[in-house]
Amino acid sequence: MKKVVLATFLACAVALYLPIASAQVAPSGTPTDPCAAPQMAAPEYAVYNNALTQTDPKAQAAGLEQYLTQFPQSAVKENTLERLVALYAPIDAAKAGDAADRLLRVNPTNLKGLYIATLIHKGQADSLTDPTAKQAALDAAASYAQKGLVAPKPACMPAADFNTEKTNFYPGFYSAIGYAAFNKKDSATAIDMFKKELSSVPLDSTKTPGPLLQDTFYLAEAYLQSTPPDYLNCAFYASRAVAYAPDNFKAIMSPTAKYCYHKYHGPNDDGYDAVVAAATANLNPPDGFAASVKPAPTPADIVNQVIATTPDLNTLAVGDKEYILQYGTPDQAAKVWGLLKGKSYQLPDVLVIASTPTELQVAVSDDAKQSKTADFTIKLTPLDPLPEEPVAPKASATPAAKAAYKTKLAAYNKAKAQADAITAATAVGQIVTVSGTYDSFTPNPIMITMTDGAVILPKAATPVKAPVHHTAAKKN
């Protein structure tokens, strides 16, 4: 499942899809059939044949480069460049890319050239961390792939050979377009391409750890990032990826599968085994699958049930009260808000989404934390101004002045340490405990505002003194 390095990826492509073949040529003569083997003068044929007879790939590639340098208008230039792409791919990705570029300048619709160019740009994107550069490389790969999907059959290529090339190359084209779209949250295109990719290969290959299984998981995530999210399809494809993934990847993928199932079905696992069984046995959801999975109650149903079964709404958790404020009727929301308005509460383990010295935006509910979206605004009570750092007295100062300096310095250090600790604790992405007084809310999107806010820093652990061991007195 781990992304392989580009050179290895290209080597696999050569082994699977780019068999090295040379053009059939004759040393002399004048062909009448445009699809007949091209003719070469004896001196040109000697250089060409000498290159082809080299058994070492590097020597053969060097010989073919020399041939193209001597005969730049060769009748077999396209075929020779195809051969160079195949020779370079396992040993030098940069030269393979250069040969593919030259091949596409000779024939912009050459399927082998478009395939290798797609793989190279997609592989380069995998190594990039800058989001803009990564997306540019993915878009370049997708551009080559899109050209590959519409490339026409060469006039002299047998239809069977062209169909074989399409069978070999189209899955890679679909994958490149799908991942470029997925990375920029174009979910519709990503879903379409990933599904075409998976349906264009033998079924058993979709069960093998590697790019196809990885794209199955990306397909699940594309459904999750759709607007609105399609949780059921997300659960299906993520469960299929989990079913066939190596154990170390199951742990990475399983939370997404369970999250999507719970979002669709509700916060329990009943019925999930049936989803796993269906996903394991089928590439796509079978007929009747959607009807077989019971959806979760609607938000209105949940609110009605919570209110009906909770005699004292004060006992509800903060997240449950928030849910009623967001999804309840105006009367239901007013009933809960009446219990909160003007009350002070402490909120533990909230996620900081945005932070200024006077205001925090934090995620409190599980859904808010999952989506990294603020659902509470905490208006912070300003700290006392930091006192000026005292200036150390001169050596000749009186004992009283020196004592006063120590007192002021201790106060300054304490205040600065508290301010620094609050700044560190409230940095974006930190988990922190806050307190505040409920002041106002808006239901859609939910945003609850608290005033008189404060950051609750963890108490420093009391140091434990090591036990003192007394040496026993020696007896006389």
Are 219 and 187 in contact by the 8 Å Cβ rule? The answer is: no
pLDDT, mean of residues 388-404: 87
Question: Do 190 and 88 share a structural domain?
Answer: no
CA separation (Å) from 360 to 15, 353, 432?
Answer: 56, 8, 11
Average pLDDT, the chain: 89
Examine residue 469 and state whether it is found in any structural domain, yes or no: no
Examine residue 173 and state whether it is found in any structural domain, yes or no: yes
pLDDT at 16 over 50: no
Rounded distance between C-alpha atoms, residue 80 and residue 465, angstroms: 79
Domain termination site, one of 231, 262, 295: 295
Q: Whose structure tokens read 């989404």?
A: 353
Question: Do 167 and 312 share a structural domain?
Answer: no
Its pTM stands at 0.64
Examine residue 397 and state whether it is found in any structural domain, yes or no: yes
Residue 376 tokens, joined: 């509470």
pLDDT, mean of residues 326-352: 95
Domain termination site, one of 287, 311, 340: 340
Query: What CATH number has the domain bearing residue 141?
Result: 1.25.40.10
Examine residue 464 and state whether it is found in any structural domain, yes or no: no
Question: Do 151 and 191 share a structural domain?
Answer: no
The pLDDT, as a whole number, for residue 13 is 52
Examine residue 470 and state whether it is found in any structural domain, yes or no: no
Question: Do 130 and 11 share a structural domain?
Answer: yes
Examine residue 462 and state whether it is found in any structural domain, yes or no: no
| pLDDT bucket at 298, cuts 50 / 70 / 90 | confident
Minimal CA–CA distance to 121: which of 158, 84, 82, 147? 147
Question: Do 282 and 253 share a structural domain?
Answer: yes
User: Which residues, including other chains, have CB under 8 Å from residue 209's CB and lie 6 or more apart?
Assistant: 1, 244, 245, 246, 249
The pLDDT, as a whole number, for residue 94 is 86
Residue 6 tokens, joined: 């580009």
Question: Do 132 and 46 share a structural domain?
Answer: yes
The pLDDT, as a whole number, for residue 37 is 77
The pLDDT, as a whole number, for residue 42 is 92
Question: Do 175 and 213 share a structural domain?
Answer: no
Residue 201 tokens, joined: 């290969």
The pLDDT, as a whole number, for residue 239 is 98
Rounded distance between C-alpha atoms, residue 83 and residue 122, angstroms: 22
Report which residue type is found at 35.
Answer: C
- N-terminal to C-terminal alpha carbon distance within the chain: 76
Question: Do 129 and 17 share a structural domain?
Answer: yes
Examine residue 473 and state whether it is found in any structural domain, yes or no: no
Q: Which helix (H) or strand (E) holds 439?
A: strand 431-443
Span of 263-272, 286-295, 413-422 with lowest mean pLDDT: 413-422
Question: Do 172 and 90 share a structural domain?
Answer: yes
pLDDT, mean of residues 134-159: 95
Question: Do 274 and 246 share a structural domain?
Answer: yes
pLDDT at 225 over 80: yes
Examine residue 116 and state whether it is found in any structural domain, yes or no: yes
Question: Do 328 and 372 share a structural domain?
Answer: no
| pLDDT bucket at 28, cuts 50 / 70 / 90 | low
User: Which residues, including other chains, have CB under 8 Å from residue 53's CB and lie 6 or more apart?
Assistant: none
pLDDT at 77 over 70: yes
Question: Do 160 and 38 share a structural domain?
Answer: yes
Structurally, the chain folds into a number of domains equal to 4
Are 203 and 190 in contact by the 8 Å Cβ rule? The answer is: no
pLDDT, mean of residues 369-387: 88
The pLDDT, as a whole number, for residue 70 is 95
Q: Which helix (H) or strand (E) holds 99?
A: helix 93-106
> For the stretch 269-284, what's the b/e string if a residue is b when 16 or more beta carbons lie within 10 angstroms of its beta carbon?
eeebeebbebbeeebe
pLDDT at 383 over 80: no
Rounded distance between C-alpha atoms, residue 68 and residue 71, angstroms: 5
pLDDT, mean of residues 423-448: 95
pLDDT, mean of residues 362-370: 91
Domain that holds residue 362: 344-456
Rounded distance between C-alpha atoms, residue 166 and residue 147, angstroms: 12
The pLDDT, as a whole number, for residue 414 is 85
Sign of the torsion angle spanned by Cα atoms 254, 258, 263, 265: positive
The pLDDT, as a whole number, for residue 2 is 45
pLDDT in tens, 255-286: 999 999 999 998 889 999 999 999 999 999 99
The pLDDT, as a whole number, for residue 463 is 53
| pLDDT bucket at 194, cuts 50 / 70 / 90 | very high
